[in-house]
């Protein structure tokens, strides 16, 4: 697993634009090298800001949107189209504006979908969908080797729907779990687990805003993954923290990288 690297931007708007530019390049490179790209999206303010910046970028046309698989790190288990669902927000920010292949947009099930209100069945079905996709030469386990997996870091250090000390953060076998009683609404969610997250080539953790400063400092100072789930989110080639100055404000000086634009 790779050690975290940090890039600190001046403010959250610039961070979103720079991260969007970085993502465009990654996708174009993966498509040139392997024919297609796979990206795991995150919900939350920073993830949606990145998608909005990507939508506004002229360089988005460099991506072959028909050769891109999109997955989600977590989902709020609500009815289809609910404005709080991560996929609904992603569609509004970007996905409705680009020519994706709908068969390659792997949204997590909704609470009024084929599995009804059974979040465990919905999680198992998503695990099955991942396993079916993980049959390319570059895949080595029950989930695809994602090119980039993005995670918003919550003020409590949660990533995806893995909350501190919750049962889901202890999971070592299953790739996708149903989450009950999440401290952040809604209480019922679906989440990739840490082993699934660690299958990614690159994991990007997004933290912008002063409410993320304590979380970033705690995780990057060596907290354990049970108390601080973001600490367990590592990519096997790269683990990249993308921060703004406000989120980086409480980092120990030894960790603070040379000034970034």
Ligand X SMILES: O=C1O[C@H](COP(=O)(O)O)[C@@H](O)[C@H](O)[C@H]1O
Q: How many CB atoms lie within 10 A of CB 207?
A: 30
Examine residue 186 and say whether the peptide bond preceding it is cis (omega within 30 degrees of 0). yes
State the residue number with the nearest CB to ligand X.
44
Q: Which is nearer to ligand X, 46 or 145 (CB)?
A: 46
Q: Is 42 in the site for ligand X (CB under 6 A)?
A: yes
Half-sphere exposure of 230 (CA within 13 A, CB side): 27
- Residues found in the chain: 261
Q: Which is nearer to ligand X, 183 or 253 (CB)?
A: 183
Instruction: Choose, by CB under 6 A, the member of 10, 45, 67, 174 that binds ligand X.
Output: 45
Q: Which is nearer to ligand X, 4 or 152 (CB)?
A: 152
Q: Which is nearer to ligand X, 141 or 155 (CB)?
A: 155
Instruction: Choose, by CB under 6 A, the member of 52, 109, 152, 164 that binds ligand X.
Output: 152
Interacting span for ligand X (CB under 6 A) from 23-31, 152-160, 171-179, 221-229: 152-160
Q: How far is the CB of 35 from ligand X (least distance, A)?
A: 28
Q: Which is nearer to ligand X, 44 or 52 (CB)?
A: 44
Instruction: Choose, by CB under 6 A, the member of 184, 214, 236, 238 that binds ligand X.
Output: 184
Q: Is there a contact between 18 and 8 (Cβ–Cβ < 8 Å)?
A: no
Q: Is 188 in the site for ligand X (CB under 6 A)?
A: no
d(Cα 11, Cα 261) in Å, to the nearest integer? Answer: 10
Q: Is 52 in the site for ligand X (CB under 6 A)?
A: no
Interacting span for ligand X (CB under 6 A) from 18-26, 41-49, 101-109, 114-122: 41-49
With tokens 């998608």, the residue in question is 51
Q: Is 193 in the site for ligand X (CB under 6 A)?
A: no
Q: Is 145 in the site for ligand X (CB under 6 A)?
A: no
Our CA dihedral for 155, 168, 126, 242, rounded to 10 degrees, sits at 30
Interacting span for ligand X (CB under 6 A) from 18-26, 56-64, 137-145, 147-155: 147-155
Q: Is 157 in the site for ligand X (CB under 6 A)?
A: no
Instruction: Choose, by CB under 6 A, the member of 74, 171, 202, 225 that binds ligand X.
Output: 74
Q: Is 232 in the site for ligand X (CB under 6 A)?
A: no
Question: Of 23, 18, 25, which is closest to residue 41 (Cα–Cα)?
Answer: 23
Residues binding ligand X (CB under 6 A): 42-46, 73-74, 76, 86, 151-152, 154, 160-161, 184
């Amino acid at each position: 697993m790779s050690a975290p690297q940090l890039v600190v931007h001046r403010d959250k708007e610039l961070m979103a634009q720079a991260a969007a530019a970085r993502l465009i390049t990654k996708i174009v490179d993966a498509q040139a090298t392997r024919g297609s790209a796979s990206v795991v999206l995150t919900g939350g303010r920073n993830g949606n800001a990145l998608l909005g910046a990507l939508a506004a970028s002229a360089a988005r046309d460099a991506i072959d949107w028909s050769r891109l698989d999109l997955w989600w790190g977590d989902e709020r288990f609500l009815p289809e189209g609910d404005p709080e669902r991560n996929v609904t927000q992603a569609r509004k920010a970007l996905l409705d504006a680009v020519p994706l292949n709908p068969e390659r947009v792997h949204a997590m099930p909704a609470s009024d979908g084929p599995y009804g209100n059974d979040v465990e069945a919905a999680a198992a079905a998503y695990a099955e969908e991942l396993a079916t996709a993980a049959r390319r030469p570059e895949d080595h386990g029950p989930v695809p080797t994602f090119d980039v997996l993005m995670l918003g870091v919550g003020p409590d250090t949660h990533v995806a729907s893995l909350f501190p000390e919750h049962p889901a953060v202890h999971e070592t076998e299953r790739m996708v779990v149903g989450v009950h009683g999440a401290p952040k609404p809604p209480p019922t969610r679906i989440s990739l687990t840490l082993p699934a997250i660690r299958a990614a080539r690159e994991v990007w953790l997004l933290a912008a805003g002063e409410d993320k400063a304590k979380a970033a400092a705690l995780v990057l100072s060596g907290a354990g993954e049970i108390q601080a789930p973001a600490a367990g989110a590592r990519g096997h080639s790269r683990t990249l923290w993308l921060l703004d100055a406000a989120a980086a404000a409480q980092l120990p000086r030894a960790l603070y990288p040379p000034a970034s634009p």
